């Protein structure tokens, strides 16, 4: 093999390696500002930048890692961009706590100008889903489309430029690759109709308006559950029962792990590749125990906000 042939082979090999799925423990930064009501009844479908909401929804939670799930009305921080009903206003919020409590009021997607924002990650229903955010940039697909089964994503926000606060811990159980040309066919038996309306249809419409290529790829990740964990891990969101926490709400828990979590990170993500599933499992358990140590529970299920059937 000549010199040029060897260089070409090396470049192809490196390119192929870059496309391989890798086990990672990801610190994922998304916008942390809180939604405010835009009408007396609550909040209409968001058409501006993503924000977090403090939400109330029936679900199940764990009070300890070795506990069994209990059912209750839960309160938690999360992303939900369709309309929500205002449940409560906190006149004197706790430090870094919520000012408003909302409850989902799902409505069908409809074309809109400006486009309706999508919900990603989506923590409602039988499984958590993550399938869009930061998976592409100007150069094409990012490493977030190449997460191996058993990877963990800490979805959270930078606070005060000195704290990473988490709202969702996502454990990858499975995935399906999709694009704007085939998503209805490929995902119709995988996700509930509500996910199409809250997430897939909004992003498809937005990308059509922006005239982006229908061949642009994405990967829908399906979260591990407490009933079907991966390497002992499951997806969860920090929460309290409404009975215990609704009166004052709570601040998102701070996670710290030197060398894995960058406290001052305010945008982007830290990918933390690793070869050992045991390493990821230990980091996941540490994150869960930090949440529990801050007086919170692990929300493992939130009821799907059901659309009215015609």
**End-to-end Cα distance, the chain:** 66
pLDDT digits (tens, 9 = 90+) for 129-165: 999 999 998 888 999 999 999 999 999 999 999 999 9
- Work out the average pLDDT over 258-275: 97
Q: Return mean pLDDT, the chain.
A: 92
pLDDT digits (tens, 9 = 90+) for 66-75: 999 999 999 9
Task: Give the residue among 35, 59, 61 at the shortest CA–CA distance from 47.
Answer: 35
- Work out the average pLDDT over 86-92: 97
Of 9-23, 129-143, 186-200, the poorest mean pLDDT is in 9-23
| Helices first, then strands: H and E counts in the chain | 6, 15
Q: Which pLDDT value is given to residue 101?
A: 98
Q: Is the pLDDT of residue 219 over 80?
A: yes
Q: Residue 154 in contact with residue 286, Cβ under 8 Å?
A: no
pTM above 0.85, yes or no: yes
Q: Is the pLDDT of residue 2 over 90?
A: no
Of all residues in the chain, the percent with pLDDT exceeding 90 is: 88
């Amino acid at each position: 093999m000549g010199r040029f042939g060897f260089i070409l082979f090396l470049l192809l090999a490196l390119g192929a390696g870059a496309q391989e799925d890798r086990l990672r423990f990801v610190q994922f930064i998304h916008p942390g500002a809180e939604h405010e009501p835009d009408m007396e009844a609550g909040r209409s479908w968001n058409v501006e930048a993503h924000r977090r909401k403090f939400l109330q929804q029936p679900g199940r939670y764990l009070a300890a890692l070795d506990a069994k799930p209990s059912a209750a009305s839960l309160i938690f921080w999360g992303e939900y961009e369709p309309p929500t009903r205002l449940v409560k206003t906190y006149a004197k919020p706790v430090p870094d706590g919520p000012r408003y409590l909302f409850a989902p009021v799902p409505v069908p997607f409809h074309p809109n100008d400006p486009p309706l924002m999508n919900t990603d990650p989506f923590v409602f229903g039988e499984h958590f889903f993550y399938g869009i955010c930061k998976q592409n940039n100007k150069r094409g697909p990012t490493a977030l489309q190449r997460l191996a089964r058993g990877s963990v994503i800490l979805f959270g926000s930078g606070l005060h430029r000195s704290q990473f606060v988490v709202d969702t811990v996502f454990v990858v159980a499975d995935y399906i690759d999709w694009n704007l040309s085939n998503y209805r066919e490929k995902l119709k038996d995988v996700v509930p109709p509500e996910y199409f309306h809250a997430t897939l249809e909004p992003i498809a419409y937005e990308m059509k308006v922006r005239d982006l290529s229908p061949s642009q790829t994405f990967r829908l990740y399906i979260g591990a559950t407490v009933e079907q964990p991966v390497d002992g891990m499951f997806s969860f969101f920090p929460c309290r029962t409404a009975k215990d926490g609704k009166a004052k709400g709570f601040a998102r828990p701070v996670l710290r792990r030197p060398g894995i979590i960058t406290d001052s990170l305010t945008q982007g993500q830290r990918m933390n590749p690793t070869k050992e599933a045991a390493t990821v499992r230990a980091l996941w358990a540490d994150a869960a125990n930090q949440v529990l140590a801050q007086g919170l529970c692990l929300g493992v299920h939130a009821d799907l906000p059901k659309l009215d059937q015609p």
